[in-house]
Amino acid sequence: MRRAPLALLLPAALGLAFLVLPLAGLLARTPWSELGPRLAAPGVLTALRLSVQTASTATLVCLVLGVPLAWVLARVPFPGRRFVRALVTVPLVLPPVVGGVALLLALGRNSPVGGWLDDTFGVTLPFTTAGVVLAEAFVAMPFLVIAVEGALRGADARFEEAAATLGAGRWTTFTHVTLPLVAPGVVAGAVLCWARALGEFGATITFAGNFPGRTQTMPLAVYLALETDLPAAIVLSLVLLVVSVVILALLRDRWITGA
């Protein structure tokens, strides 16, 4: 076996250290002795519950809208499909704060859509829990769409033809053949989507603000705590880190290597 050249090994080791050291620092500074009481502090649980609720709802919204969008992009040829595909990925590269501003301009009470919602249904989105869900869904949906579209394009469309020759219409074929075939991709996409929604900060704070119990999710709580109570910020960060690692482990074992 040939030795790897130092010119590659050294930067590789540095890169690894760069990725791992901050996490080690977080663990090193964690106040392990007071972990229990700190986790039980009312603010932590509230923020955690709100985060999980909004991230889960946002993922649900992404599934309901994103899977059909992915199907259309993968299966229905139409002019401008490449452009639409690029459009879908914009939130992926857009700074989340800009996303928040854009949502505010589109759905704020002074915007046409927001004003109409307010007048007609009495529904206000900015600075509400629903606004948190929208902000999270906005930034997280591309993860789901890309994962599901990739799975759809990788799945053999001839299974759908076989289903058609057996009398299945397009909707039945979608629910009974296509979805089961791409289920691993949908699950992986949903988990990524959920993780992204859980960590959302920029769009959320811009569009929904930072009200404890209503719009203050974990990342917002971490940021706020950093200024007033450093150990609390560390504990909150630790919780998010643990959640991320668990998700990574789940993805690795079940869907990435298995698929």
- Residues in touch with another protein (CB under 8 A): 156, 158-159, 161-169, 172, 176-177, 180-181, 183
CB of residue 182 to another protein, shortest distance in Å: 10
Written as one string, the DSSP assignment of 98-148 is HHHHHHHHHHSTTSHHHHHHHHHH----TTSHHHHHHHHHHHHHHHHHHHH
CA pair distance 60, 72, nearest whole angstrom? 19
Q: Which is nearer to another protein, 27 or 162 (CB)?
A: 162
Q: Which is nearer to another protein, 159 or 223 (CB)?
A: 159
CB of residue 148 to another protein, shortest distance in Å: 16
Phi, psi of 110 (to 5 degrees): -90, -5
Work out the angle at residue 233's Cα, subtended by the Cα atoms of residues 230 and 234, and round it to the nearest 5 degrees. Answer: 90
Output the six-digit token pair for 77: 């040829």
Q: Which residues contact 254 (CB under 8 A, 6 or more apart)?
A: 184, 187
Q: Which residues contact 105 (CB under 8 A, 6 or more apart)?
A: 111
Q: With contact defined as beta carbons under 8 Å apart, do 126 and 107 qualify? A: yes
CA pair distance 178, 180, nearest whole angstrom? 6
Q: Which is nearer to another protein, 177 or 220 (CB)?
A: 177
CB of residue 106 to another protein, shortest distance in Å: 39
Q: Which is nearer to another protein, 122 or 169 (CB)?
A: 169
CB of residue 186 to another protein, shortest distance in Å: 13
CB of residue 191 to another protein, shortest distance in Å: 20
CB of residue 192 to another protein, shortest distance in Å: 22
Output the six-digit token pair for 214: 């209503």
Q: Which is nearer to another protein, 113 or 166 (CB)?
A: 166
Q: Which is nearer to another protein, 102 or 179 (CB)?
A: 179
Q: Is 167 left (phi over 0), alpha (psi -120 to 50) or beta?
A: left
CB of residue 71 to another protein, shortest distance in Å: 17
Q: With contact defined as beta carbons under 8 Å apart, do 146 and 189 qualify? A: yes
Q: Which is nearer to another protein, 3 or 158 (CB)?
A: 158
State how far the alpha carbon of 203 is from the alpha carbons of 19, 35, 54, 163, 176, in Å: 25, 30, 13, 43, 37
